[in-house]
């Protein structure tokens, strides 16, 4: 499985993580709304952390006990949502 550029594996190697930074909270929240819609469509949901203009997303497949192609696919989709 290829991990999209900008995403890093967690220390235990069971997840991929990416931090995004926006101009303000409204931009960050708008991005999270787009992520939520994409996650629902994929039926695969990230762990989300949001502090003001910063968003950290963590992707893993709990049923598989770690990374799968679903994680890489959603990561690639999320990368296209950054505006």
CATH number of the domain within which 13 lies: 3.30.1360.20
Interval 33-80: pLDDT, tens: 999 999 999 999 999 999 999 999 999 999 898 999 999 999 999 999
Alpha helix stretches (DSSP H) within the chain: 25-42, 69-81
Domain-embedded: residue 13 = yes
Domain-embedded: residue 26 = yes
pLDDT of residue 83: 60
pLDDT of residue 41: 98
For 59, the token pair is: 């992707």
Domains: count for the chain? 1
Domain-embedded: residue 2 = no
Using the Cα atoms of residue 12, residue 42, residue 49 and residue 72 in order, give the sign of their dihedral: positive
Domain-embedded: residue 44 = yes
- Enclosing domain of residue 17: 8-81
Domain-embedded: residue 1 = no
């Amino acid at each position: 499985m290829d991990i999209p550029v900008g995403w890093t594996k967690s220390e235990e190697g069971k997840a991929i993580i990416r931090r995004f930074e926006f101009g303000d909270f409204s931009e960050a929240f708008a991005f999270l709304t787009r992520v939520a819609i994409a996650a629902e469509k994929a039926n695969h949901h990230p762990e989300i952390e949001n502090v003001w203009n910063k968003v950290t997303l963590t992707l893993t497949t709990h049923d598989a006990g770690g990374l799968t192609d679903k994680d890489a696919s959603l990561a690639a989709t999320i990368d296209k949502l950054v505006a």
